[in-house]
Amino acid sequence: MTEFEAGRPVVLRGGTVLPMTDGHEVLSGVDVLVEGDRIAAVGPELAVPDGTIEIDATDGIVMPGMIDTHRHMWQTAMRGYGADWTLTQYFVWYYLEHGRLFRPEDVHAGNTLAAIEAIDAGVTTVVDWSHGLQTVDHADAAVDALRSVPGRFVLAYGNIQAPPAEWTAAPEFRDFVSRRITGDDMLGFQLAFDVVGDPAFPEKPAFEVARDLGVSVTTHAGVWGATSDEGIRQMYEHGFMTPGTVYVHAATLEPDSYHRIAATGGSISVSTESEQSAGQGYPPTWAIRLHGIPVSLSMDTSVWWSGDLFSAMRTTLGADRSRAHLEAHAKGDTVTHCALRADQVVEWATRGGARALGRDDLGSLEPGKKADLVLIKNDRSPVSFPLLNPYGHVAFQAQRGDVHTVVVNGRVVKHEHELVGVDLAAARRQVESTVEYLRSTMGEETWLKGMNPDIPETKILDNPYTYTDYRSSATRDR
Ligand SMILES: [Zn+2]
């Protein structure tokens, strides 16, 4: 695909540009020029170098690439399998019963498909919350997959099959870090583990390893039935709460924990779709907004949901507003003005993620920033016009099929709704082989049972308006 070879300048002409700078302005009929891996200019009718790729962005929206700060990419190999799961069923399946079945090639399959899916949906940076790394071979496979797709990724290294103090102390883990984490900005690195609240604080050595390596920790915090305020207290008292720490969900915490997060400068990754269905706690933006804690968005896992952040923005607005109405109605009040606005969730999906990752050079369209951007435009869609409120359009009207062009690190990776230089057929074969292996190893009965959990009995309430003989009484009256 020489047409889109890396290094060739690109200009997107005449779009509605959401630069996601402080004022949340809307620039109409403006060009965005990319040179090398950077945004070179944003402005009307830009002069461009010879050989620049010209992309017509009229009737479209140009915005920064979206950033997902928490996605278990290995699980994409089982897309949709857990649609009817609760968090309990998820834990039983992956943590206790079948997660160990995943071989390195299965992690590779899931990661490859998840990475392709991300760039297709305009999600240019994903934190791979990779807690299926039972061995370093699994970790090598995860990185091989991420490196094979032209997106920007952060490997958040985890292993749910062993205590964090154990796997972070293994010499082969340290060896992996020095071999594979080379400091280039297409592949970042974090440690991913949870703090369970054991009074002995067994996670302490793992935090020390993170500090030693100079990397951030991402942790599922405030998850109903799993992690609580106690873990936050332990982290705080040992000085492990830092500005780079990303607290995932944080949906069942007391104000004291939110105060500690706010005071130490960390951020919260909200996975609204996940919290609503799985039960980690009510999606917390309505509470954490009151504490001034920075927010980023994430979709968690494709074993339930698809990996696009349009859904994340939409459900986050809905959940936040729903809670505001519910709280007001309980007091006999009416919400007359929405506090959470569409432009705010677009910021969380872009700059919020950049901030969480300590990446000032991502998340906005300004000269000098890294060129990760998305053109939302679909001339065949009746939902593409009128374009009156661009932020509202992104949050409530647009969807992944409207992602026309995606640029990552200055390189066009999707154009006119088609991925560029991505072997989707090979990814499909890998995933089919993983599904076949899991299914045959577990046995058909276990496989089907895992996908179709029992439905609890619902008792239909007695209804005072039903009468056994209302028809005959109606006939009599006539
Ligand atoms: Zn998660």
pLDDT digits (tens, 9 = 90+) for 95-153: 999 999 999 999 999 999 999 999 999 999 999 999 999 999 999 999 999 999 999 99
Give me ligand 1 centre to Cα 271, in Å: 8
pLDDT given for residue 472 in this prediction? 60
Q: How far is CA 181 from CA 189, 325, 359, 434, in A?
A: 7, 47, 17, 27
Give me ligand 1 centre to Cα 137, in Å: 22
Q: How far is CA 441 from CA 55, 92, 137, 437, 445, in A?
A: 48, 17, 21, 6, 11
- % of the chain at pLDDT higher than 90: 94
Give me ligand 1 centre to Cα 269, in Å: 10
Can you tell me whether residue 250 is helix, strand or coil? Answer: coil
Q: How far is CA 425 from CA 67, 413, 420, in A?
A: 26, 17, 13
Give me ligand 1 centre to Cα 218, in Å: 10
Say whether pLDDT at 474 is over 90: no
Give me ligand 1 centre to Cα 275, in Å: 10
Q: What does the alpha-carbon distance between residue 351 and residue 22 come to, in Å, rounded to a whole number?
A: 10
pLDDT digits (tens, 9 = 90+) for 159-191: 999 999 999 999 999 999 999 999 989 999 999
Give me ligand 1 centre to Cα 66, in Å: 18
Give me ligand 1 centre to Cα 393, in Å: 28
E strand intervals along 324-460: 373-376, 403-408, 411-415, 418-419
Asked if 392 and 310 count as a contact pair (C-beta separation under 8 A), the reply is no
Say whether pLDDT at 300 is over 90: yes
Question: Mean pLDDT in the chain?
Answer: 96
Q: How many residues does the chain have?
A: 478
Give me ligand 1 centre to Cα 315, in Å: 17
Give me ligand 1 centre to Cα 300, in Å: 5
Give me ligand 1 centre to Cα 397, in Å: 27
Q: What is the DSSP letter of 456?
A: P
Q: What does the alpha-carbon distance between residue 29 and residue 61 come to, in Å, rounded to a whole number?
A: 10
pLDDT given for residue 52 in this prediction? 97
How much is the pTM?
A: 0.96
Beta-carbon-side half-sphere exposure of residue 475 (alpha carbons within 13 Å): 4
**pLDDT tier for residue 1 given thresholds of 50, 70 and 90:** very low
Q: What is the DSSP letter of 182?
A: -
Give me ligand 1 centre to Cα 93, in Å: 14
Q: What is the DSSP letter of 227?
A: B
Beta-carbon-side half-sphere exposure of residue 368 (alpha carbons within 13 Å): 2
Could you give the angle at the alpha carbon of 117 between the alpha carbons of 280 and 133, nearest 5°?
60
Give me ligand 1 centre to Cα 208, in Å: 22
Instruction: Give the residue-averaged pLDDT of 5-28.
Output: 94
Give me ligand 1 centre to Cα 130, in Å: 9
* Pairing state between β 61-64 and 10-17: parallel
pLDDT digits (tens, 9 = 90+) for 39-93: 999 999 999 999 999 999 999 999 999 999 999 999 999 999 999 999 999 999 9
**pLDDT tier for residue 2 given thresholds of 50, 70 and 90:** low
Residue of 422, 409, 424 lying closest to 6 (CA atoms): 409
pLDDT digits (tens, 9 = 90+) for 91-109: 999 999 999 999 999 999 9
